[in-house]
Amino acid sequence: MILNDTKIISISLITGEIVETNIPTKILDPDEIGIASSEIVKEISGQKTVAISFKKMVDGSAYSLAAKIKEIADDVELHAVGKINLEICYFLKRSGFRIAHFDIFSEESVFVKEPREMASILNPFDEHYQSGNDNSKGIY
C-alpha cells in the first residue's frame, strides 16, 4: 500500500497482526475539523471507515477527535495515519482506533515481525482503571 509515495504497513490494533487493508479515502485532519459534533457528523456521514491524521505524535487533538467520533458513531472503523509509532499504539487502541498505518521503512516495522512483542505493546496492562473505547472494562 502507498500513501503520499510512501510504502505503508498496516497493523490491526486488535490482534497485533499485519493486515491487508486500504487506507480510507476519508482522512480527517483534527486541526481543520475540531471536535464540534455538528462538524464531525457532516464529515463522517455515510462513512464506514475513516482515517485520522496525526501531524505530530505529541498532539492530543487526534485522540479527542477519535473519542468524539466513537461517541457519535461507534460503528465507524478508525484508522491512524501520519506521525505515529509503536509507543502510542496502546493509546490508539484505547481511543477506539482499529488499524494503524506505518511507513514500512521506519524503525517501527521491525517490531511487527514478533507477534509476542506486538501483543505486549498493545496490551501492556492486565487491568485498566477506567473503561475505554476499545470496549475494555475498568475496575472503577
DSSP string for residues in 5-43: TEEEEEEETTT--B---PPPS-EE-HHHH-S-HHHHHHH
The pTM of the full predicted model, rounded to 2 decimals, is 0.78
What pLDDT is recorded for position 108? 53
| Domain extent for 96 | 2-122
CA torsion sign for 26, 20, 13, 92 is negative
pLDDT digits (tens, 9 = 90+) for 42-77: 899 999 999 999 988 777 899 989 989 998 999 999
Please report whether residue 134 resides in a domain. Answer: no
Q: Based on the structure, what is the number of domains in the chain?
A: 1
DSSP secondary-structure letter at 13? T
Please report whether residue 130 resides in a domain. Answer: no
Please report whether residue 10 resides in a domain. Answer: yes
What pLDDT is recorded for position 1? 44
What pLDDT is recorded for position 140? 54
Cβ atoms 23, 2 nearer than 8 A: no
* Residue type, position 98, single letter: R
Per the structure block, which three cell numbers stand in for 2?
502507498
Please report whether residue 127 resides in a domain. Answer: no
Please report whether residue 136 resides in a domain. Answer: no
